[in-house]
């Protein structure tokens, strides 16, 4: 996981729960990075899991909700870095298709060592779309948050649900998006 995600997680925690929460998390957890994150560096995936689990416990919030909220917040941080073509997408649906076809392609050009999730699309009905998520990190809730952040960006209303989820023993997650 790239340092920039950790940096934003820090900002997210500090802004919504204060500096001490974040500092306690870093001080308590014996992380290989010691909580020192450089945006362009890659860090072990387990660090984000450890931080999320710890924070959920400390804040007494369900883990999926915490990750989803972070994803929602992360979107506004990532969007300025998106390729021009994606920035000019005419609507949410178009943008979501670009995630796999344009954004991930561009990210790979910059960082050859990233482990990006793989998305497949089922898009046959005007009101619905399914994004099939596959990643060993199982951060499907982060994706949900990012989609919600994107909907907000494009000023669209969506309802999100998962018909299949790796956390429930499925081999992939089906993120069902309903355009309202």
Partner 1 sequence: MSQQSNEQEQLEALKHILDRERAARKEAEQKIEVFASDIYEKNQLLQEQTHQAQERQKQLEFLTGLAAETWQQASMTAILDNYLDRSRNFLQFAFATMFELKPDYQLDRVQILPAAETQLMQFEESELRTLFNHLDGFRLSMELTEQAECKLLNLEEYLDPQLGKTYRPEFQFAYIVPLYQNSHNRQTTFGLACFLFEDEANLDIGQLQTIESSRNTLILALSRKQNETNQAKQLAELEQAHQTLKQTQQQLIDSEKLASLGMLSAGVAHEINNPVGYVMSNIDTMHDYLSSLQSVLKPLNENEQLDDAACRTLMAKWQDEEGDYLLEDSQKILNSSIDGLHRIRDIVEALRSFSRMDNHELEAIDVNSTIEHALKMVKNELKYNYQVITDFQADKPIMGSDGQLQQVFINLFINAKHAMKGGGSITIKTWIDKARVKVSVKDTGTGIKEEDLKQIFTPFFTTKKQGEGTGLGLAISYSILQQHHAKIEINTQLGEGTEFLLSFFTFE
The correct pick among 12, 37, 72, 75 for binding partner 1 (CB under 8 A) is 37
Residue with token string 């023993």: 169
C-alpha span between 131 and 157 (Å, rounded): 17
By the rule CB under 8 A, 81 interacts with partner 1? no
Q: Which stretch binds partner 1 (CB under 8 A): 20-28, 45-53, 54-62, 82-90?
A: 20-28
C-alpha span between 11 and 43 (Å, rounded): 17
Task: Kindly identify the residues of this chain, within the stretch 40-79, that bind partner 1 according to CB under 8 A.
Answer: 40-41
Judged by CB, which is closer to partner 1: 39, or 62? 39
The alpha helices in 29-160, defined as continuous H runs, are: 45-59, 63-78, 84-87, 92-98, 104-110, 140-153
By the rule CB under 8 A, 27 interacts with partner 1? yes
By the rule CB under 8 A, 24 interacts with partner 1? yes
C-alpha span between 67 and 59 (Å, rounded): 12
Judged by CB, which is closer to partner 1: 19, or 111? 19
The correct pick among 15, 16, 28, 38 for binding partner 1 (CB under 8 A) is 38
Q: Which stretch binds partner 1 (CB under 8 A): 10-18, 48-56, 62-70, 149-157?
A: 10-18
Q: For residue 171, what are its two tokens?
A: 């081999």
C-beta of 4: minimal distance to partner 1 in Å? 11
CB 119 within 8 A of CB 99: yes
139 Cβ neighbours under 8 A, 6+ residues apart: 48, 67, 117
Residue with token string 């909907």: 151
By the rule CB under 8 A, 18 interacts with partner 1? yes
Q: Which stretch binds partner 1 (CB under 8 A): 37-45, 94-102, 128-136, 145-153?
A: 37-45
Site for partner 1, rule CB under 8 A: 3, 10, 14, 18-20, 22-24, 26-27, 34-41
């Amino acid at each position: 996981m790239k340092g920039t995600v950790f940096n934003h997680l820090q900002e997210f925690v500090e802004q919504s729960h204060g500096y001490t929460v974040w500092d306690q998390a870093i001080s308590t957890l014996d992380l290989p990075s010691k909580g020192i994150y450089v945006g362009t560096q890659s860090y072990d995936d387990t660090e984000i899991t450890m931080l999320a689990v710890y924070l959920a416990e400390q804040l007494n919030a369900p883990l999926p909700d915490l990750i989803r909220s972070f994803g929602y917040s992360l979107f506004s941080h990532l969007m300025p870095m998106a390729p021009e073509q994606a920035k000019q997408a005419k609507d949410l649906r178009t943008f979501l298709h670009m995630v796999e076809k344009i954004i991930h392609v561009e990210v790979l050009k910059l960082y050859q060592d990233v482990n990006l999730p793989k998305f497949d699309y089922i898009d046959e009905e005007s009101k619905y779309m399914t994004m099939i998520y596959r990643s060993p990190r199982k951060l499907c809730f982060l994706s949900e948050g990012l989609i919600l952040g994107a909907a907000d960006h494009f000023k669209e209303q969506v309802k999100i649900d998962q018909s299949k989820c790796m956390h429930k023993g499925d081999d992939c997650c089906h993120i069902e998006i309903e355009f309202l």
